[in-house]
Every structure is written in structure tokens, then in C-alpha cells.
Amino acid sequence: MKSKKKFVKWSLTFITLLLFLITIFPFFIVVINSAKSSLEIITDPISFPQKWSQLFTNIKTIWTSPSVKYASSVYNSVIITVFSLIFISVFSAMAAWVLVRRKSRSSTIIFLIFISGLIIPFQVVMFPLVSLFRNIYEVSGVKMLRTLYGMIFTYIGFGAPLAVFMFHGFIKSIPFELEEAALIDGCSKPQIFFMIILPILKPIFVTISILNAIWIWNDFLLPSLILGIGQDVQTIPLAIAGFAGSFVKKWDLIMTAVLMAAAPIVVGFIIGQKHIIKGMVSGSIK
């Protein structure tokens, strides 16, 4: 029995290590090729770079490129990501709290409507979405396409269903007696939510924020539809696509730009991984 358990343990360790190597290999390729020239990448893409200083040369080229405008793309991505996360997380938490505490048929129907957003594939609604935005501009003059607030509005719509679903399950485990005690002490509904409920939601709040940040920061399809490739307003994925032309692909700049785009998300994930795991597995308070 001991030898069998030892065999199983080493087998699981080997499989875990193998999966780790498979997962980390693409990132390893990006790192080593970001410090090469295009010729080096094409000649030998899996070797280490001859001069790591080439990485700083590539970064300088990217930031000063007049055609791609990478710096403004970073600014746009930060604005879109930050405001989308704020609205998705806070508003979804408020909506889930109300839906949990007000037990009625209408709240159940509204919750099911939110959940239905998880079932409908994005590819089904992407072209009707663009057509809807064009109709809004024609009727009201409000421009949703090629704008940052149009992107933020869209991300709120697509990010809210999952956030409401996760908050809803977490809030159901919070004892209602805490809110009753706060009401007796004279707290208003906003005070109860922001001073009592929201601090308890910290693990799931961080989890939802990190997951949505990874999605929004790296998303290419939705910005390409709403903003368009080669337009004045660009996000980082669209800017990276600008280095790949119809006839020439600047692999050195593409790899460096991908590394620069991935670095903030990787750092944020490492910092918040404790809360992510806690938010995924916890459904009760101690």
C-alpha cells in the first residue's frame, strides 16, 4: 500500500510538473524572443538572445513608433479596464445583494435574466451590437462606436452576468442577522452595504476584479468591433496587431509588446492570487 501511494504521489507530481512546463513554455518563448531582432527570431526562435540589451531597444522603438501610438493605447486600456472593473464589481455586488435579500418572484426573474447572459455566446450578439450602436447614434446622436465610454458600457453588459452570479452565491452565506443588528443601530441601507457587506465581499470582489481585468486587458475581438483596427482610439491588443502588416510582420516588436502588455496582469495576479483562491472556494464567513 505504501509503495502504491508513493507511486501515485510521484505520478501526480510528474503530471503537475509536465502541465506547468507546457503552460509556461509560451511565456518563455515570448520572454527570450522579446530581446532579439526579427532576423534572430526567424533564424532560431527557441535559443536565448545574444544581447539582452536588445529588449530595451525594442521597448524604445515601440514607445516612439508614430504609426502604432503604443503609449496612448496603454492609456486607453488602463481607462477602459479600471472604470469597467469599478462599475462591474460595485454595481453587480449591489444588484446581487438586493436580489438575495428581496425574496420575490420578480427578483428571481431578474436573477435568471442575468444568468441568461452567461448562456448566450458573444459571437451571436456581436454584429447586432454594432448595428444597435449605429442606430443609437442615428436616433439620439450619442456616439458609442470608436469611443472609450462605448467600450466601458459594453464591458459592463458582458461582465455583469458572471459577477452577479458569483456575488449572489457568496451573499447568500452572509447571515441576515448582521444587517438586522445594523438596522437596529440606525444604519441606512447604503451604510449597511458599504460598511458591512462590502468588506465581507473582499475575497470574491478581488476574484471578480482579477478575472475581469485579465479578460478586458487582453481582449481583442470586442475592441476590434467597437473601436476598429487602425483608428485613433486603440487598446493594447489592437496596437500589437498594428505591428503585423499584410506583407511584413515585425516579430521582435510583437514579442516585446506582448511582454509589456502581459507584465501588469501577471504582477496583479501574483499579488491577488491569495484572494482569488479564497474567493473561489469560500462561501461562508467565520
Under the banding of pLDDT at 50, 70 and 90, the label for residue 137 is confident
Q: Where are the domains of the chain?
A: 56-281
Which pLDDT does position 280 carry in this prediction? 56
Q: Is residue 246 over pLDDT 60? A: no
Which pLDDT does position 187 carry in this prediction? 86
Q: Is residue 89 over pLDDT 70? A: yes
Q: Is residue 284 over pLDDT 50? A: no
Which pLDDT does position 177 carry in this prediction? 87
Span 200-209, average pLDDT: 88
What pTM was estimated for this model as a whole?
0.85
Span 52-81, average pLDDT: 87
Percent of the chain with pLDDT over 70: 93
Contact 188, 120 (CB under 8 A): no
H helices of 102-232, in order, are 105-119, 122-140, 148-171, 176-184, 189-192, 198-200, 202-218, 221-226
Of 203, 201, 238, the C-alpha closest to 218 is 238
Q: HSE of 273 in the Cβ direction (CA atoms, 13 Å)? A: 6
Q: Is residue 67 over pLDDT 50? A: yes
Is the alpha carbon torsion for 269, 79, 238, 252 positive or negative? negative
Q: Using N-to-C axis directions, what is the helix angle for 251-281 and 54-64, rounded to 10°?
A: 90
> What's 48's DSSP letter?
P
Contact 107, 215 (CB under 8 A): no
Under the banding of pLDDT at 50, 70 and 90, the label for residue 281 is low
Kindly state the greatest CA–CA separation across the chain.
74
Structurally, at CATH architecture level, domain 56-281 sits in: Orthogonal Bundle (1.10)
Length of the chain: 286
Contact 84, 91 (CB under 8 A): no
Which pLDDT does position 87 carry in this prediction? 95
**Alpha-carbon dihedral of residues 15, 19, 24, 25, nearest 10 degrees?**
90
Q: What are the tens digits of pLDDT across the range 168-188?
A: 988 988 888 888 888 888 888
Whole-angstrom Cα distance, residue 210 to residue 216? 10
Q: Using N-to-C axis directions, what is the helix angle for 148-171 and 70-101, rounded to 10°?
A: 40
Least confident of 61-65, 146-150, 261-265, 267-271: 267-271
Which pLDDT does position 202 carry in this prediction? 86
Q: Is residue 4 over pLDDT 70? A: yes
Under the banding of pLDDT at 50, 70 and 90, the label for residue 22 is very high
Q: Using N-to-C axis directions, what is the helix angle for 70-101 and 105-119, rounded to 10°?
A: 150
- Radius of gyration (C-alpha) of the chain in whole angstroms: 23
* CB neighbour list of residue 262: distance below 8 Å, 6 or more residues apart: 27, 30
Span 25-52, average pLDDT: 88
H/E element, 93: helix 70-101
Amino acid at 106: S
Q: Which three cell numbers stand for residue 234?
A: 486603440
